[in-house]
Amino acid sequence: MATRNDQVSSFETASCPLPLQHKQQIVMGHGSGGKMTQDLIKSVFMPHLASEPLAAANDFAQVALPAGANLNGYLSISTDSHSVAPLFFPGGDIGSLSVCGTVNDICMSGAVPLYLTAAFILEEGLNMQLLEKITLSMQHSAEEAGIQIIAGDTKVVEKGNADGVFINTTGVGWIPSEHRIGGEQAQPGDVVLVSGDLGDHGIAVLGARGDLGFESNIQSDVAPLNRMIQALLKAAPNTHVLRDPTRGGLATALNEIAVQSHTCIRLDEESLPVNPAVRAACEMLGFDPLYVANEGKLIAIVPAKEADAALSAMQQNQYGSHAAIIGKVEASPIDRVLLKTIIGGTRLLDVMAGEMLPRIC
């Protein structure tokens, strides 16, 4: 019997490579919209990302507003395509990044996250176990954030026409009140806070590429920040701006805010939290940690009288233990970010001009 079974199985391998192959790696047929696409959805995506609207298998997800919603609220919507290279890095992977990145963006409005869509562009030949690992990681991040994955899409392109996998996520949240949070709301007199160490994500991805030239145990900070934001807004209900300093880092995000609000943001270099290992790596490579991407940090700009409460709320959250007050908003010179350096000078922190770290998210 054993011999017979062996023969059968070697026969299957020899003359029917496809049925085995397509269980181990992505083939073009997985993107056809037919039976193989359905098999992929059932075997890899549904076990981890299932929700009632997704299981309904219509072209659309039909979903309700949250319980207790009233018509004075707003939707908060954001989209991000993720093309990070490599797909896995210390502290995270493209799966956790794609969920947290969009959760964080929609929550920077003060919204409660509700629904997430996930669209995959897969390269032919992609290892199926690797895809499942990414999917599992998406599940964990979505569960932590309390967001439901309600719609998906799968496309496959020929080997050499995509770099492993690209994931787009689009999120919908609900802003329960008419209180408006946004870059244009910063006001002279406001205090600027950041929730922790700067530049961890960018340097962790660089390390995973082997581009540091030395061993490092720097971890990406990728994390969903919605719970921190809810606590922050309870402590500082008049918060004016929330933003996550991703591509382009803190300096780029603050420049955007200064331009949106026509204010000057003045930072105190001494107060900026940076992990010493990240600082050392940046010095060796000629980078400035203020321009390096974060994926689990937020900038908060709040009225001065709420600054201490905001700081304390951030520090009590698991992702905010290194939160700090880093500067203030002034009336002029407008559209500028200025840095008071440790040696006492003042320098202009401009927008990053071109490419610094590509494929970071």
Please report whether residue 134 would count as binding a second copy according to CB under 8 A. Answer: no
Q: Does 79 bind a second copy (CB under 8 A)?
A: yes
Radius of gyration of the chain from Cα atoms?
Answer: 23
Least distance between a second copy and beta carbon 200 (Å): 16
Give the residue carrying structure tokens 């929700």.
Answer: 51
Please tell me whether residue 170 binds a second copy under the rule CB under 8 A. yes
Out of 99, 111, 281, 301, the only residue in the binding site for a second copy (CB under 8 A) is 111
Which residues is 328 bridged to in the sheet?
191, 266
Judged by CB under 8 A, does residue 210 bind a second copy? no
Order across the sheet with 264-268: list the strands: 241-243, 299-302, 191-194, 324-330, 264-268, 336-340, 346-348
From 38, 216, 315, 316, residue interacting with a second copy (rule: CB under 8 A) = 38
The interface with a second copy within residues 248-267 (CB under 8 A) comprises 248, 252, 256, 260
Token pair for residue 93? 């992977």
Taking CB under 8 A as the criterion, the residue among 2, 5, 59, 345 binding a second copy is: 59
Listed ranges 82-90, 224-232, 309-317, 318-326: which one lies at the site for a second copy (CB under 8 A): 82-90
How far is it, in rounded angstroms, from Cα 157 to Cα 123? 5
Nearest to 290 by CA among 322, 228, 337, 258: 337
d(Cα 54, Cα 177) in Å, to the nearest integer?
A: 29
Choosing from 3, 5, 15, 62, the residue that interacts with a second copy (CB under 8 A) is: 62
Contact 55, 152 (CB under 8 A): no
* C-alpha 32 chain-centroid distance: 29
Instruction: Quote the DSSP letter at residue 306.
Output: G
Residues numbered 218 to 247 that lie near a second copy (CB under 8 A) are 243-244, 246-247
Pair 249, 290: CB distance under 8 Å: yes
**Number of shown-chain residues binding a second copy (CB under 8 A):** 91
Query: Which amino acid is residue 43, in one-letter code?
Result: S
For position 93 contacting a second copy by CB under 8 A, the verdict is no
The residue range among 167-175, 212-220, 311-319, 332-340 that interacts with a second copy, by the rule CB under 8 A, is 167-175
Say whether residue 355 binds a second copy (CB under 8 A). Answer: yes
H or E stretch at 93? strand 92-93
Q: Contacts with a second copy in 172-191 (CB under 8 A)?
A: 172-173, 175, 180, 182-184
In the numeric block, which tokens belong to residue 190?
Answer: 């406001």
Q: Does 4 bind a second copy (CB under 8 A)?
A: no
Strands 148-157 and 112-123, bridge-based pairing: parallel
Q: Check binding of 286 to a second copy (CB under 8 A).
A: no
- Contacts to a second copy from residues 287-306, by CB under 8 A: 291, 293
Q: Which is nearer to a second copy, 276 or 354 (CB)?
A: 354
Is 17 a binding residue for a second copy by CB under 8 A? The answer is no
Among 52, 153, 211, 283, binds a second copy (CB under 8 A): 153
Stretch that binds a second copy, among 135-143, 212-220, 331-339, 345-353 (CB under 8 A): 345-353
Q: Considering the complex, state which of residue 157 and residue 277 has its C-beta at the smaller distance from a second copy.
A: 157
H or E element in which residue 217 lies:
none
- Give CA–CA dist 40/35, Å, rounded: 9
115 binds a second copy (CB under 8 A): yes
